Structure 1
Amino acid sequence: MTYVAFSSSLRVLMLASALALPGSVAVAAAPQAPAVGARALQPASPDRARLPLARLFTPLRLEGAILKWGAPQVGTPARVTYAFASGPVNRPEARNCRQMQDFDTLADASGEAPAAVRAEAVAAFRMWGEASGLVFEEAASEEAANILLGAQAMPRGYAFTNVDFARQDGSGLIEAGGSDGRGLSLPVASETGEGKTAPVAAWVASITRSAICLNPRHDWKIGFDGNLAAYDLRYTFAHEIGHAIGLDHHLQGPSIMHFKYSEIFQGLQAADISGVQWLYGPPAR
């Protein structure tokens, strides 16, 4: 099988504060969404699933494929492992996170203990797992991990994600207006020349490996304090994990997958939950 690395340098898969984007519009304040719980985790109804995709969430699409872990079928659960880099990592074929160093290097930038920084990453994984059919567990080794987290060896930007996936063999075709096997219409759409959305066919491809790397020279912190020059680690990890599991930037309303860092909310929002549940189904009861 052929693997293709996702380039966030093309799609800008990074968090950026309003201060870092002169002339951009800051995220408008909105009431905080309820914490992840029973009500927030209810799967979307069939009627809601028929809404244009842009109003719900934005899946990561590369080469016409929608990406997810596990079986190449939306709405199916998956088990994903992760590990923290303990030394130099070199992946020359990747577009992002080609060279990483010890994950604990990030502790120096935050002034926190290495164990505390790791705990924030684990909490971010838990956030996505509690909202969906994803099960995360720490791998026995870095080589066996599906998702590897580390610090950038060549610092730039803020945070990046690299995603490798298996090219399609034709078994995961989603037909426009079709069903995902659970009786739900698939909200697959694309932008037309008139700025409107139109249904399209799309492939579902299995993610094979992801890497998340943060800039150790950036200012990191644990918790919100109103200082947007320093990014909260849990929020940042949650955003990058969203990319690593198949979600793209979402600009329609509040979302942890918005490309701008904010301190308006700390947990997953309605768009994030809709997206992860569309890909992996609701959490097991």
Structure 2
Amino acid sequence: MSHSTEEFKIFGQKWGVSQVAQTTGGTVTYSYANANFGNQFADFDSFITEDAFQTDITSAFAAWEDVANVQFKLVSDSSNVDIRIGWANIDGEGGTLGAAIVPSSGPLDNVIIRFDRDENWFTGGSSPPSQTDFVYVATHEIGHAIGIDHSTDTSALMSEFYNRDISGLQADDIAAAEAIYGSSNIEKIDVFRFLNSSVGGHFFTAETSEKDSVVASSVFQSEGIGFEALSQTATDVELSIPIYRFFNKNLGSHFFTASEEEKSQVELMDEFNFEGVGFRAFNEDTASTEPVYRFFNINTGGHFFTADSNEQAAVMNFEGFRFEGVGFYAYLNTDIA
């Protein structure tokens, strides 16, 4: 509480190897508590098992991850998790909505976030006046859990009092997070998807010039943006990995892999030409990433990728496709046309 910049306030504590301001927070783990441990700062009275509340919490972590140089990873609950989350019987409906309990001094560690079980919660955002927006409160309490105190700016989400007219992080909130961790170093790029109807396969590219050439071709049908990833040069982004691209000379299609071992094996196959790094993505999931699923087409010998969970579920029922799991993690395209 001793540090103040503009209208926001920060504790002077942070996540990460360094406690120096504007340095990365690294990867912070979080879990949905399923037990109380003797060394925790406060006990939970019950546990958050409902999908809707967990989805809102993930969205709240993603909001901070999108603006500051810190990442959040969901893990199984244990006493060693960085931020543990659950319900508490705080003071009944109204009054205190939630609380984040952090160490009184030193680096952030073993933080507890408790939400009042008895509130009239609304999940999914944009709550009606009669209910309390859970994602708003979750984002606020996570702000405390990463080192941000209450702001004197009443238009900030980190203001002390709940304000249903505020939606999402405001400029003062973002400035606070950047003051602690620096701004996010993630610059997303579009990965475009095309259908080659002549061979029944899909083509992906992150290169705008290549995309323009493919658009001009009568062979391919544009299917928009498949997902968002990182450029080939984004090697400084924590957890990011190269996604290698090969051209199958026999099929006339492309193959992508995040596996170094698989890359080495495919390089030995005569039918494949190695084309380098197509883009970068992640081999671990964080609050703001989504799985990109991989299928093998047993009829054509090609591979199919999708970041759409509904499409993944549909393709699982196609006899001609064998599910190969998660190929890597990337970002959904959330732009509205």
TM bucket (normalised to shorter chain) is 0.5 to 0.7
1:212-251 equivalent positions in 2, closer than 5 A? 212-222=113-123, 223-227=125-129, 229-251=130-152
1:77-116 equivalent positions in 2, closer than 5 A? 77-78=24-25, 79-86=27-34, 88-91=35-38, 94=41, 97-104=42-49, 114-116=50-52
Match of 1:18 in 2: none
Q: Which runs of 5+ in 1 are unaligned?
A: 1-5, 7-51, 61-65, 105-113, 168-204
Q: How far apart, in 2, do the equivalents of 1:280 and 1:92 lie?
A: 27
Contact 1:250 1:259 in 2 (8 A): yes
Which among 3, 8, 14 is matched to residue 68 of structure 1?
A: 14
Match of 2:55 in 1: 119
Shift of 1:77: 0.7
Shift of 1:241: 0.2
- Using a 3 Å threshold, how does the CA distance of structure 1 residues 142 and 155 change in structure 2: closer, same or farther? farther
Shift of 1:225: 3.9
1:57-206 equivalent positions in 2, closer than 5 A? 57-60=8-11, 66-70=12-16, 71-78=18-25, 79-86=27-34, 88-91=35-38, 94=41, 97-104=42-49, 114-153=50-89, 157-164=96-103, 167=105, 205-206=106-107
Which among 109, 114, 119 is matched to residue 208 of structure 1?
A: 109
Determine helix, strand or coil for the equivalent of 1:237: helix
Q: How far apart, in 1, do the equivalents of 2:107 and 2:150 lie?
A: 19
1:65-113 C-alpha deviation (Å, 9 max, x unpaired) = x111111111111121100012x4255763xx33342113xxxxxxxxx
Determine helix, strand or coil for the equivalent of 1:136: strand
Match of 2:302 in 1: none
Query: If you compute each CA radius of gyration, which structure gives the higher value, 1 or 2?
Result: 2
Q: Which runs of 5+ in 2 are unaligned?
A: 187-337
- Using a 3 Å threshold, how does the CA distance of structure 1 residues 256 and 143 change in structure 2: closer, same or farther? same
Determine helix, strand or coil for the equivalent of 1:81: strand
Shift of 1:260: 1.2
Q: How far apart, in 1, do the equivalents of 2:90 and 2:37 lie?
A: 11
Contact 1:54 1:252 in 2 (8 A): no
Match of 1:23 in 2: none
Structure having the larger proportion of residues in strand:
2
Contact 1:100 1:213 in 2 (8 A): no
Shift of 1:164: 2.0
Query: Taking every aligned residue pair, what percent have the same amino acid on both sides?
Result: 23
Contact 2:15 2:107 in 1 (8 A): yes
1:18-29 equivalent positions in 2, closer than 5 A? none
Determine helix, strand or coil for the equivalent of 1:275: helix
> Is 2:199 aligned against 1:254?
no
Higher relative contact order (CA 8 A, sep 6+): 1
Shift of 1:158: 1.8
Root mean square deviation of aligned Cα:
2.3
Contact 1:256 1:272 in 2 (8 A): yes
Query: What letter matches 1:98 in structure 2?
Result: D
Shift of 1:214: 0.7
Q: How far apart, in 2, do the equivalents of 1:100 and 1:245 lie?
A: 23
Determine helix, strand or coil for the equivalent of 1:67: coil
Query: What letter matches 1:58 in structure 2?
Result: K
- Using a 3 Å threshold, how does the CA distance of structure 1 residues 59 and 121 change in structure 2: closer, same or farther? same
